[in-house]
Amino acid sequence: MSERLDGKVAAVTGASRGIGLATAHVLSERGARVALIARTRAALDDAVAAIGGAAFAVVADVADPDSVRAAFAAIEREAGRLDLLVNNAAIARLHRVEDASDEDLVATVGTNFLGVLYCTRSAIPLLRASGGVVVNVSSEGVRRPFPMLSVYLATKGAVELLSTALSEELRSDGIRVTLLRSGGSTGGFAQEWDPEEGRRAIELWKQRGLLDFVGFPMPAEAIAESIVHAATRPPGLGVDFLEVRSSKPFPSGSD
């Protein structure tokens, strides 16, 4: 089966780093024209320059419905079609629920769950025309939720249920929906955590045995390859669910 995407157009959210950037790279290498969606122009411009080819930047905040509408209108103007949407954008802030600020909660739910809804809603007319694919990225943490990440993981649980429902809702439109449940990866949002807060969280997770469950972070490229594989199945063959996990143990002495 071919995993080429010549003539196809893809949109990837959270595309300026981590899984999103790696996915945009792989999609471009397979021949797709890729719209990289993120909030920061400078980071997007750097990503587009690194990818080259037919990649282009779309500055948008996925938590803002008007920004999302404008983004997908821009993609349609620029590329004329859309064959694949990868809902990858996410934030994960370390805190106990009682310590979470209003802004923490609004930003996390807005980006991680409403962002998936807003982007999918705007993409559906374009994907219906192409018989396209939606890939929603979740986290293996939904199977064994971590303390200090409860809000993040609750949004990922919501994305999983939404994906199942969307798969049924969009089936008659010829749009396939894949849920990709990912293990931890390099180059992601954890880079933004306060180092001391991160150390405390990791120590707590060690005590609870959670790091034995998740394993050592994987290269973002490995997850990107799985996303592209799911997205390139031929018509009539869908991948409803795919889980990619590390088999490498988390070092007991890591901090």
What is the C-alpha separation between 23 and 150, in angstroms, rounded?
Answer: 26
Contact criterion met (CB below 8 Å) for 122 and 64: no
What is the C-alpha separation between 54 and 52, in angstroms, rounded?
Answer: 6
- Look at phi and psi of residue 246 and say left if phi exceeds 0, alpha if psi is from -120 to 50, else beta: beta
What is the C-alpha separation between 48 and 35, in angstroms, rounded?
Answer: 9
Joined together, the tokens standing for residue 179 give: 């849920």
Placement of tokens 């690194």 in the chain? 50
152: annotated active-site residue: yes
Per DSSP, 14 falls in state S
Side-chain-side CA neighbours of 154 within 13 Å: the count stands at 11
Q: Which of 113, 118, 146, 152 is catalytic?
A: 152
* DSSP per residue, 59-120: E--TT-HHHHHHHHHHHHHHHS---EEEE---------GGG--HHHHHHHHIIIIIHHHHHH
Nearest residue to 79 (alpha-carbon basis) of 23, 123, 18, 133 = 123
Contact criterion met (CB below 8 Å) for 62 and 89: yes
Q: Tell me the catalytic residues.
A: 152
